[in-house]
Amino acid sequence: MGNTKLTSKIKTISRISAVGVIVYLAVTIYRYFPDVKASFNEGRNAYESGEEVMSDPAVWKILLAFPCCIATITALVITIVAGLQLLFGMSRGNSPFTEKTSRAIKNMGAALIVFECTLVLINYMMYDVLSVSMMWLAGLVLYAFSLVFRYGTVLQKESDETL
């Protein structure tokens, strides 16, 4: 397959993926917005509806819950922003073997690992259950790919200087 044909396919797939991520985020926000708005307008909460609430939570759980939530949200935002940067950069026809690309992939991998760790901690604090998904493995794989892309950057630079 020729270089121009491959570049064209990368641009097309990147554009489709970027649009897919944006549509997914919009649909997810739209799906939850009416429930949040209705709950806010009606002033409902667990106490008023008679649902059982956590009684006398431990102080360490209260103190640790807020930073964990902030870290989880931050990791999710970093993952989405780095992914969109990567997709938009590739859709513009930029070379995938750049320092910026390897940094974006590394940031995504590290953010997914942090996301998984904080999610496990939050689940443990709220439900006393340790449930681990495979998000940490995806983060490790992305981090490893970032090293491959960094090596590709070095090879691309050597190739450009040779010619």
Q: What is the dihedral of CA 152, 153, 159, 163, to 10 degrees?
A: 150
**Minimal CA–CA distance to 41: which of 29, 33, 52?**
33
Whether pTM > 0.85 for this model: the answer is: no
Digit-coded pLDDT (tens) for 25-43: 777 777 767 766 666 666 5
Digit-coded pLDDT (tens) for 131-154: 778 888 888 888 888 888 888 888
pLDDT at position 60 is 77
Task: Give the pair of three-digit tokens for residue 41.
Answer: 């307008």
Task: Give the pair of three-digit tokens for residue 17.
Answer: 């993926």
Task: Give the pair of three-digit tokens for residue 101.
Answer: 């690309």
Task: Give the pair of three-digit tokens for residue 46.
Answer: 């667990």
Answer for the pair 45, 102: CB distance below 8 angstroms, yes or no: no
Task: Give the pair of three-digit tokens for residue 119.
Answer: 């999610």
Return the sign of the alpha-carbon dihedral for residues 128, 133, 137, 143.
negative
Tell me the mean pLDDT in the region 70-79. 92
Tell me the mean pLDDT in the region 110-137. 85
- Better pLDDT: 50 or 123: 123
Distance, in Å, from the CA atom of 36 to the CA atom of 38, rounded to the nearest integer, reads 6
Answer for the pair 61, 125: CB distance below 8 angstroms, yes or no: yes
Give me the residue label for tokens 């970027």. Answer: 18
